[in-house]
Amino acid sequence: MAVILAARRTAVAPRGGAFARLRIEDLGAAVLRAVLADAGLAAEAVDEVIVANALGAGGNPARRVALAAGLPERVAGLTIDRQCAGGLDAILLARALVDSGAAEVVVAGGVESYSLRPLRAMPGADGQPVPYDQAPFTPWPARDPEMGAAAAALADRLGIAGAAQVDWAVQSHARARAVADWPEIVALSGVTRDAFTRELTPAVAGRARVVAGSVTAATAAVAADAAALVVVVSDRTAAGRGLRLLGGLTLGGDPEEPGLVPVAAIAAALGGLGLRPADLAMAEVMEAYAVQAMACVAGGGLDPAIVNIGGGALARGHPIGASGAILAVRLFHGLRAGKGLAAIAAAGGLGTALVVAR
């Protein structure tokens, strides 16, 4: 059975912040070297590096990170794009390689620089470039909502009021501020804590700009830069250490309601292992929007007391391709005993769930 032997991340810095000038390889290489040191493995032991990246940086970021970290040139690197879910999916791919015997040591996770994302354009009707920000996630524009609007529609359908979303966001920041030490963070550019975490109050949140409907800037995760990686090895190499990768999967669902797809993924991942939500000791659920996290926690039957105990993405930020991997890193460092879950939604109607055990 595949095992996470080590897990690290950078702090999360808002777009244009402390990491604004760092390239993808600058973010990822430092974390890669740190996880190998934690695992007690040499660079020569790595068979593959799988990195999620969502913002179209090109040039195979996984290869760039591997080379910048000093891995052997034979390590090809594999970059995947499943948007927000990509960081967890990279870990699931690493698990598959190790469990199949195709690899012994795989470094997997995600890296994203929102600050240095490339400018994108498509040819217009006259052949001239037309800039765009959000790539299409479906072939049907009518079924491809802007993510903030989709979150607002979800809140309306489920009857989750703006005040309840604010309460969730306030709690996320409070939990993050209560953490005295973040051993998972690799110091980079002098940053050792998530830069966005603050003392959020309902009064402060009430002054936030409206994103869509009941969703505001206080209840939506800010765009950010970060990297998060784990070392996945066979249990032979792990020798009794680490976090066992029990299972997980990615499911597709309604593209117009991406926030709810993790509910089905959670049920399938737990059900396939004969587990119930009550069997979990810890869960990390993505907070791209407060309402999306609230819907997944309720729909998945999760105990809110064990969810995002050190705060979530509302208190960190959302470095898209790295966000799922950050959930796994948090599980690695926070789960002392028992079983844990990471779950995330992604644009286009995707949901990924990962189940682990100490």
Asked about 84 being catalytic, the answer comes back as yes
List the catalytic residue out of 173, 296, 318, 333: 318
The CA angle 101-105-108, to the nearest 5 degrees, is: 110
Q: What is the rounded distance in angstroms from the CA atom of residue 180 to the CA atom of residue 262?
A: 30
Whether 327 contacts 110, CB under 8 Å:
no
100 exposure class (CB count in 10 Å sphere: 0-12, 13-18, 19+): exposed
Q: What is the rounded distance in angstroms from the CA atom of residue 51 to the CA atom of residue 107?
A: 8
Q: What is the rounded distance in angstroms from the CA atom of residue 34 to the CA atom of residue 185?
A: 10
Q: What is the rounded distance in angstroms from the CA atom of residue 310 to the CA atom of residue 172?
A: 8
What is the model's pLDDT at position 347? 93
Whether 54 contacts 224, CB under 8 Å:
no
How many C-beta neighbours within 10 Å does residue 191 have?
Answer: 17
- What SS3 string covers 272-335? HCCCCHHHEEEEEECCCEHHHHHHHHHHCCCCHHHECCCCCHHHCCECHHHHHHHHHHHHHHHC
Per-residue pLDDT of the chain in tens (358 residues, 90 and over written 9): 999 999 999 999 999 999 999 999 999 999 999 999 999 999 999 999 999 999 976 889 999 999 999 999 999 999 999 999 999 999 999 999 999 999 999 999 999 999 999 888 889 888 888 888 878 888 998 898 899 999 999 999 999 999 999 999 999 999 999 998 999 999 999 999 999 999 999 999 999 999 999 999 999 999 999 999 999 999 999 999 999 999 999 999 999 999 999 999 999 999 999 999 999 999 999 999 999 999 999 999 999 999 999 999 999 999 999 999 999 999 999 999 999 999 999 999 999 999 999 9
- Beta-bridged to residue 325, according to DSSP, are none
Asked about 318 being catalytic, the answer comes back as yes
β-strand pairing of 105-113 with 48-52: parallel
Q: pTM of the prediction?
A: 0.96
Please name each of the domains of the chain with its CATH number. 3-117+220-357 (3.40.47.10)
List the catalytic residue out of 84, 173, 296, 333: 84
What is the model's pLDDT at position 130? 87
Q: What is the rounded distance in angstroms from the CA atom of residue 185 to the CA atom of residue 174?
A: 19
Residue with tokens 């190998």: 36
